Amino acid sequence: MKGPYETAQQQIFDCARCMNLDENTTELLRHPLREITVSIPVLMDDGRVKIFTGFRIHYNDALGPMKGGVRYHPDETIDTIRALAAWMTWKCALFDLPLGGAKGGIICDPKNLSPGELEQLTRGYIDRIWQFIGPDMDIPAPDVG
């Protein structure tokens, strides 16, 4: 079974072939601009510190600042985030939006975190990526669900 990023890669190849894109352009479209992995310490309500892993993928900024949501999910992977960032890039391009694609994610089960733990997690994530976001670079957003 293919992973999400492998599926996105196949879609890039298929579209490039249909559009008669040259190999160099296709190769550029296959790779994210930047991948960020961060460790986020959170003081849990029971007094222990738990380290969560977060990601932010900047896929492409050719059309403008990147945009994309931030997922909180227990089964999150960098592979999924890469694919979602690629798909956000294509969505913005297809709708002729002056935006590139990005996506973020944190490996966690938000249903098992208290409001205070979620706040610490969110603030910790932003504290780790703040220098890579902003209105002229990358615009994070919440993810539905």
User: Tens digits of per-residue pLDDT, 40-95?
Assistant: 999 999 999 999 999 999 999 999 999 999 999 999 999 999 999 999 999 999 99
Run of H or E including 39 = strand 34-43
Closest CA to 121 of 48, 33, 43: 43
Which CATH architecture is the domain 32-142 placed in? 3-Layer(aba) Sandwich (3.40)
Q: Which is catalytic among the residues 2, 50, 91, 103?
A: 103
CA dist., res. 129 & res. 70, Å (int)? 12
pLDDT at residue 144 is higher than 80: no
* Domain residue limits, the chain: 32-142
Closest CA to 94 of 5, 27, 15, 3: 15
Instruction: State the average pLDDT over residues 117-125.
Output: 97
67 tagged catalytic:
no
